[in-house]
Structure 1
Amino acid sequence: MARPNVIVIMADQLKATALPIYGNPDVRTPVLDRFAEESVRYDLAFAAHPLCTPSRVSLWTGAYPHDHGVRTNEAQAPKSRDNYLRQFHQAGYRLALIGKNHCFGSEDLALFDEVEEFSHRGRTHASDARDDRFRSWLNTDAEFDRLWHAHPTPVPQEECPAARITEEASRFVRTAAEPFLLWMSLPEPHEPYYAPEPFASMYDPERIHLPEGALEDDTAEPVRRRLYRELCGFDDMDEASLRTAVATYYAMVSFVDSCIGRLLDTLTEADRDKDTIVVFLADHGDFAGERGLMVKCNSLIDALTRVPLVIRIPGIDAAGDTVADPVSLIDVMPTVAHIASVTAPTGSRGRVLPGLGIPTEARSAVFAEYGAGSPPMTYDQGVSRGHAQRDQLRPLLRAAEAEGRSKMVRTRRWKYIYDPMDPVDELYDMEADARELHNLAADPAHGGIVADMRRRLLDWSIRTEDAEPTALYFDPGDFSPRVEPHYAPFGA
C-alpha cells in the first residue's frame, strides 16, 4: 500500500474484557464487533504502563517508561526524545490530534496541522455554550467526588466530549489532504462515570454479571491495592453502588462504540476506507468491578494493563484473525510505520506485530511497570495521613503511585509482578485463574516459575536501560581521546 492514511482511535481507561470481542456477554458494541471481523484482533495486548501519560508516550516513542523517562501523569513526551509523530511529519503526513492529549508538549503539538483538544470536561480551548452546559452539570454534582459514583447525564449525547470529538474527527477525514495521520483520542470510559441517553438506560445494574471475586475480601492483597481501597473508601461501597458503577461504565463503552461507528461511516462515505489503516486501542484499563474496585491504582493486574487492540489494514488476507501471542502497545507504531515506509525514531524498541503477513519475531512475554522511584508509602503511613487529611486524598494517591519501580512480566499462561517495596509478590496462572484471585508467589511448588519470571524481568531491565547513550570522552571507533576527562583514569 503506497503511503496509506492512518487513524489511531484511542479509548481512555478501557479494559479488554469490557468488550464482547474479548468475552464479555453483557456489553453491546455492534460497531467493534463488525470492525473486528474486518481486522486483526490481538487477544493479549498490554500497555507498558497503566497510567495515561506514560502509556501514551510509550505508544508514540515505541519505548518503555523507564527508557523514555515519563513515569507519571504530570510529565510530557520529552523534547529530547524522538517519536513517531515527528517521523510521520518529516515523511510529509498531515497530522491531526482531536480529543484528549495528555502526552505531547507545545513543541510536538506545533507539528500537528490541526489540534482540537478535549478533556473529560469538554473542549480545552475555544469552548462554547455546549462545553459550558456540560461542565456546569459536572461541577454541580458533588457526588462525583466518590470515585465509584455514577449516573445518567441530562446533557444530550451530542454535547458530550466523545460525540464532539467524533464530529471534529469526521470533518477532518472528509477534508484533509492525503496522506494524513489522525489521532482520535476519546476521554471515555474514564471516570467520572456518566452516560447520556439512550446508553444510560441500556444496562440494568441488577442483570449485569459482576467479575468473579468482586465482593470477596482479599487480605493477602499487596500494600499498594490495600492502601488504594482504604484511602478511597471502597470498603464503604455496597453491591448496589458497585453494580451501578459497572453498568454505567458499560454504557460509556457502548457510547464510545457508537462514536467509532460514526467515524468509520464517514471514512467509507468519503471513499477513504480502502487506503486507510485504522487502529483501535486503549491507553490502559479500569478495575470496572474487579476486586470490588473501580478506576485504577498502582497495580499491574490484567484489568489495568490488558487492553483492546484491533487493526484494520485494507486488502490484508488475515482479516478476521485473532493473534494469541502477547504483544505490547509499543509495537503498534513500529508496525504502522513499516507499512507506511516511515523511518522509526531513534530509541524505538517496538517490533512489527505478528499476524499481518510481515516477517517479525513474536514475543514470548510482554512487560509493564509502575512507579517513578519515590520512597515507599507504608499502609499505616497512608491510612493515618488519609484519615487526618481527607482533603489530601489525591496528593496521597499520587504519592502512592510514584513510589518504587514495580514491574510485571506476562506470558500466555503466567503473570508475575515484582515490587521490592511491597512484601507481597504476585504470581498467577492465567489459564486457571483469569481474574488473578489466587496468588501463587509464596507457594514453594511454584518456586521455579517465580525464578524464571524474575530472570525474564532482569534480562528485560538490562536490555532496555540507558537508551540515550552517555557522552564519551573517546572515539569508539579508534578509542582516541575526544576531550580531556574530568578525572584521571585507572588511577593515573
Structure 2
Amino acid sequence: MYTSPKERFFLSLALLIFSSLIGVFAQSTKKPNVIIIMADDLDSKQLSCYGGQNIRTKNIDALATEGLKFNQIYTSEAMCVPTRASLFTGLYPVRHGSFQNHKPVYDNLKSVGHYLADLGYRVGLTGKDHVTKPKTVFPFEIVKGFEPNYVAPTDDYELDDVKEYITRDSQPYCLFVMSINPHAPWTVGDTTEFDADKLILPKNWVDTKVTRRQFVKYLAEVRRLDNQVGDITRLLKETGQDKNTIVVFLGEQGAQFPGAKWNLWDVGQKSSMLVKWPGAVKPGTQTNALVQYEDITPTLIDIAGGKPIVGLDGKTFLPVLLGKSTKARDYAYGIHNNIPEGNPYPIRSIRDTRYKLILNLTPDKAYYNRFMMNPAQKDRNSVWFSWADKATTDPNAKRITERFEKRPAVEFYDNQADPWEFNNLAANPAYQDRIKQYRQKLDDWMKQQGDAGASIDTVYAKKP
C-alpha cells in the first residue's frame, strides 16, 4: 500500500512516541533493586542522625535526610550470627537454629536468597560472609570487594566487582554489603580525628582512661563505616542505579563494650535502620513503628511482589515504608544464650515501644563474658578491668559493674523515661498488672517458638 512521505513521517512519529511510552511504562513497573548496607557491632547512638555527638556521620545521615529513619528497630539476639540468620531467614533464633553465637542454622531452611530468586532477583553478598553456610540455605552469589573476615586487621575494599554486579544486566538485584566495621579489634581508621578527653561516653559506662582510649579506636572504625556508605551511594549515582534502587542501612547490634553486645538491654538490642526509596518513601521522615530484623525478609518479599511466606516469624512493614501505617507489630522479643561466649546465662525479653520486661533465667549465677572479663587476657581486653579497679573506690563504678555481673530474676523498665534502663520497676506495685501481662505474652511466645528456656543454653556437639 502506497503511503506519502507525510504519512510515513507521522507514522514514524507515532511509533517513536509509542515506543517511548512503552519504555517509560516498563521503567515505572520494573521491580526496584535493593542495596542493604550492614554495620558490624555498631552503637547506633553514635550516629549523628540518631543524636550522636562524638562524630558526624554525614554519609549515613544523608540516607536519613533522603529517606525514612526507624527509631524502634531491635535485634532479637544481640550478637552477630543469630542477628544475620534472623535477617536472612525471617525466623527467630530458636526456630532457625542459631540461638547461640556461631551455632549453625538448621540445614532444611530457606532464606531470602530463595525467596527473592523465585521472584526474579539476583541475590548477592559482599563482605562479612560467616553466615552464608550451608549454601543450600544461603544461595548468595558471593561478590568480591569487601573484607569477609570480621576480625581482619585491615578492611581494604574495592568497588569494581560491586559495580560489575549492579550493572551486569537488567535483572533486578538485591545485594547485601556487609561491612566489618566497627567490629573489634578496632585496628583501622584515623584515630587522630578524636580527642579522647573530650568524648561523651555512654551513661552506662565507667569513665576510665583505658575506656576512652578504646572508644577512640572504635569511633575511627565508625568513620570508616560512614566512608564505605558514601562510596556505595556515590557508585549508585555514578552508574545511574540510584533512580530505581532502594538503599537500606542497618546497624546490627551494639558494640563490644560491657553491657551492650551479648545482652538484652537496649544498648545491645536496639539498632538503626534507614531506608531510601526514591519516589516511594518520603524523604526526611521518621517512624516509631516497632520492627525486628526478622521482619526485613518478609518486607523484601512484599516489595518484590511476592505473597507472604507461610511460617515466617517476621511481618512485612511495607505499609510503614509507604506512609500508609504508623504501626508494624505490637511486641518485639529478645533471647540471649551465653554459651560459647561465657558461662550459661540465658535471658529472655519482651517489649513494646515504651515498656520492656527482661527475665534472667539463672539469677543465682554471675554473668561472665570470656572476651571482656577473662583475667588471663587482662592485658589485651582491659576495659572491663579498668571498670572493676575503679569500682573499689568509686560508688558509681561499683553500681555499674555490680549491675552487670549480678542481675535480678526480673527487670522492668519504662524506656521513655529511663532509656539507659537504670531504674528497675519490677518491685513497683503500680506496674504489677503490666508485668504479669507481658510475662504471659513472653511465655506464650517461648512456647510457640519451642524455646525451653534455660536448658537450651548448653554445649552442643559440632557438626562435622
Q: What is the alpha-carbon distance in structure 2 between the residues aligned to residue 449 and residue 49 of structure 1?
A: 24
2:285 to 293, 300, 321: 321
2:179 aligned counterpart, secondary structure? strand
Q: Which residue of 1 aligns with 2:268?
A: 304
**2:330 and 2:431 mapped to 1: Cα distance?**
19
Work out the CA distance in 2 between the residues paired with 1:213 and 1:205.
17
Match of 1:266 in 2: 235
Letter in 1 for 2:349: M
RMSD: 2.4
Q: 1:25 aligns with which of 27, 35, 53?
A: 53
1:185 lines up with 2:178 in the alignment? yes
Residue of 339, 350, 355 corresponding to 2:314: 350
CA contact (8 A) 1:441 1:447 kept: yes
Q: C-alpha distance in 1, partners of 2:172/2:445? A: 36
Runs of at least 5 residues in structure 2 that lack an aligned partner in the other structure: 1-28, 365-407, 452-464
Match for 2:420 among 435, 441, 452?
435
Partner of residue 157 from structure 2, selected from 152, 155, 164: 164
Deviation at 1:165, TM superposition (A): 5.8
Aligned pairs for 1:45-64 (under 5 A) are 45-64=73-92
Q: Report the TM-score, using the length of structure 2 for normalisation.
A: 0.75
Match of 1:311, SS state, is strand
SS at match of 1:453: helix
Alignment of 1:68-467 (within 5 A): 68-108=96-136, 111-116=139-144, 118-122=148-152, 138=153, 160-161=154-155, 163-164=156-157, 168-175=161-168, 178-197=171-190, 200-215=191-206, 239-286=208-255, 288=257, 293=258, 296-297=261-262, 299-353=263-317, 354-357=319-322, 362-371=328-337, 398-400=341-343, 403=344, 405-423=346-364, 424=408, 425-465=410-450
| Matching residue of 1:147 | none
What amino acid does structure 2 have at the position aligned with 1:15? Answer: D
Distance in 1 (CA, whole Å) between partners of 2:282 and 2:416 is 26
- Corresponding letter in the other structure for 2:189: P
> Aligned partners of 2:431, 2:272: CA distance in 1, in Å?
30
CA distance in 2 between partners of 1:166 and 1:296 (Å): 30
Q: 1-side partners of 2:435 and 2:243: how far apart? A: 47
1:7 to 32, 35, 41: 35
* 1:258-310 per-position Cα deviation (integer Å, ceiling 9, x unaligned): 1110110000110011111111103311265xxxx37733x201111111111
Q: Which residue of 1 aligns with 2:403?
A: none
Of stretches 453-462 and 429-438 in structure 1, the one that deviates more from structure 2 is: 453-462
Partner of 1:127: none
Instruction: Give SS of 1:188's match.
Output: coil
- 1:366 Cα deviation after fit: 0.9
What is the rounded CA distance, in whole Å, between the counterparts of 1:369 and 1:274 in structure 2?
Answer: 39
Q: Structure 1: how far apart are the matches of 2:138 and 2:444?
A: 38
Contact persistence 1:87–1:344 (CA under 8 A): no
Q: Residue type of the partner of 2:220?
A: A
* Equivalent residues of 2:111, 2:137 under 8 A apart: no
Comparing 454-463 with 61-70, greater Cα deviation is found at: 454-463
Deviations 1:149-197, CA, capped at 9 Å, x for gaps: xxxxxxxxxxx32x41656434533446521111110111011123323
What is the distance in 2 between the residues matched to 1:202 and 1:170? 30
Query: Contact (CA 8 Å) 2:108, 2:137: kept in 1 or not?
Result: no
Give, in whole Å, the separation in 2 of the partners of 1:74 and 1:317. 36
Count of residues in Structure 1 that have an aligned counterpart in Structure 2: 375
For residue 299 of structure 2, what is the amino acid of its counterpart? Answer: T
Sequence identity percentage: 28
For residues 2 and 167 of structure 1, the distance between their equivalents in structure 2, rounded to whole angstroms, comes to: 25
- Per mean C-alpha deviation after superposition, the further-off stretch among 326-335 and 110-119 is 110-119
Q: Is the 8 A contact 2:116 2:304 kept in 1?
A: no
- Structure 2 counterpart of 1:218: none
Does the CA-based 8 Å contact 1:426-1:441 persist in structure 2? yes
Look up the SS of the partner of 2:248 in the other structure: strand
What is the distance in 2 between the residues matched to 1:398 and 1:359?
42
- Which SS does the other structure have where 1:245 is aligned? helix
Q: Supply the AA of the counterpart residue of 1:190.
A: H
Contact persistence 2:38–2:178 (CA under 8 A):
yes
* CA–CA separation in structure 2 for the residues paired with 1:165 and 1:304: 31
Contact 2:36 2:247 in 1 (8 A): yes
In 1, Cα distance between equivalents of 2:111 and 2:310: 8
- Tell me which of the two structures has the higher relative contact order, counting C-alpha pairs closer than 8 angstroms and 6 or more residues apart: 1
TM-score where L is the length of structure 1 = 0.71
Q: Does 1:37 align with 2:65?
A: yes
Taking structure 1 as reference, are residues 173 and 64 closer, same or farther at Cα in structure 2, changes over 3 Å only?
Answer: same
Describe the shift of the 1:121–1:364 C-alpha distance in structure 2 as closer, same or farther (beyond 3 A). Answer: closer
| Matched letter for residue 261 of structure 2 | K
Hey, what's the Cα distance between the residues in 1 that align with 2:324 and 2:165? 33
* Higher gyration radius (CA): 2
Please report how far the alpha carbon of residue 120 of structure 1 lies from its aligned counterpart in structure 2 after TM superposition. Answer: 2.5
